[in-house]
Amino acid sequence: MVVLLFVASCAVPVLAVKNAVSVLGASAGSGGGEDLGGAAAGIPDRMLAAYKGAVRLVKKEVPGCRGMRWPVLAGVARIESNHAVGRTVADSGAITPRILGPVLNGSGAGGNTTAFPDTDGGRWDGDTRFERAVGPFQFLPQTFEAMGRDGNGDGTVDPHNADDAALAAAVYLCGNGRNLRDNKQLRSALFAYNRSDAYVAEVSGWIDRYDAAATSPDGASGATGDARTVLDAALAQRGVPYSWGGGNAGGKSRGVCCSPGGQDGRQVVGFDCSGLTVYAFARAGVRLPRLAADQAGVGTRIPASAGYKALKPGDLVFFGYIPTRDSSIYHVGIYLGDGQMINAPRPGKPVRIDPLSSMGGFAGGARVL
């Protein structure tokens, strides 16, 4: 009975069920033979999700930009902060403790002999006299003030947020509409980011490595037709709150009472996991059942044993307490590519992009389109 309740509303398991899921062990979310992409290159899942999210969003910020891809952002972040390794990166993208460069007082710290007086009153760098580079992309506060964008839809712009910082870096590197597939233009963008030939060479080397690890430049870029329509509809809902039982073919809505954790969906306008998929597929003229477990019966089922490589952008992806039993499915998302999905994860967390590995009990997918 408890499992059926969770299946209906895409909830996070309560402790007893969470413990049951943990028994599934490290295999949860892997399924064998998966395409790891950036994960294989040693990039933490949450940071990789930030880079890929920025690639999608920068198309609206700089429409003329071509060739932006996650390996470019990863190459920069690898040199600037080693992908925030050693820090905690929250689901929201917030990075703690903050990543701060040396005080730029002209003393030579960090190789810098030019003093940079404070411009932000210490808001981002904690220094009211001089500047310090901030965040995983090491922006000077004044530069971030010009380039900063809200990358996670929370209404704030923060250089210490992985999503915001990645989108700011993408905007900066795109300039007025560079073609970053052109090596000369890419190197020019990197030199503008840090005026050092050695820096450009080092970052370029990492971009080449990440390009080799990538299976597609920006996750869902290979999607066309109805799959593209579905993904665009779901991605446009990033930042919309989770609402227990919320969402339908017409869009976000108030949900029902109440989640095991106590969320009263009647007080929140938004989506739960299957409400988001119902809405997105409706944009392509497909009517899905309302519950996640029922959605697994639509289209061509893709078993977990086939691995992530069997999935295509636009496929539904499922997670279950017992991955081989569809009746135990508790969560559904929409596959973007490169091991990522767009989903409404749980109460308190908005619609967002997550790695498939963020959910336990990968139960395969379904090809509806």
| Span 95-105, pLDDT tens digits | 999 999 999 99
Beta bridge partners of 88: 96
Residue 285 placed within a domain:
yes
Whether 24 has a pLDDT exceeding 50, the answer reads no
| DSSP β-bridge partners for residue 134 | 100, 139
The DSSP code for 356 is G
Check residue 117 and report its DSSP letter. B
Does some domain include residue 78? yes
- Per-residue model confidence (pLDDT) at position 223: 75
Q: How confident is the model at residue 75 (pLDDT cuts 50, 70, 90)?
A: very high
Which pLDDT score is estimated for 61? Answer: 96
- Domain finish residue from 213, 248, 264: 213
**CA contacts within 13 A on the Cβ side of 134:** 30
Query: Quick one: 259 and 320 in the same domain?
Result: yes
Whole-angstrom distance, CA of residue 263 vs CA of residue 344: 14
Using pLDDT thresholds of 50, 70 and 90, give the confidence band for residue 159: very high
Shared domain check, 175 and 52: yes
Q: What is the three-state SS of 201-217?
A: HHHHHHHHHHHHHCCCC
Q: Mean pLDDT check: name the lowest of 199-203, 214-218, 257-261.
A: 214-218
Overall domain count for the chain: 2
Model pLDDT, residue 32: 26
Q: How many residues does the chain have?
A: 369
Angle CA 166–119–78, to nearest 5: 25
Which pLDDT does position 41 carry in this prediction? 61
Positive/negative CA dihedral, 3, 4, 5, 10: positive
CATH number of the domain residue 175 falls in: 1.10.530
Model pLDDT, residue 20: 31
Mean pLDDT value of segment 41-46: 81
The pLDDT, as a whole number, for residue 34 is: 28
- Tell me the residue range of the domain where 245 lies: 2-34+220-367
**Whether 165 and 206 share a structural domain:** yes
Residues 261 and 342 in one domain: yes
Of 184, 213, 242, which residue is a domain's last?
A: 213
Of the chain, the percentage scoring pLDDT greater than 70 comes to 86
Residue 236: the pLDDT is: 84
Confidence of residue 278 (pLDDT cuts 50, 70, 90): very high
Q: Are residues 318 and 355 in the same domain?
A: yes
| Collapsed DSSP state (helix, strand, coil) of residue 102 | coil
Instruction: Please write the tens of the pLDDT for every residue from 330-353.
Output: 999 999 987 889 999 999 999 998
What local confidence, expressed as pLDDT, does residue 244 receive? 93
pLDDT digits (tens, 9 = 90+) for 240-250: 999 999 999 99
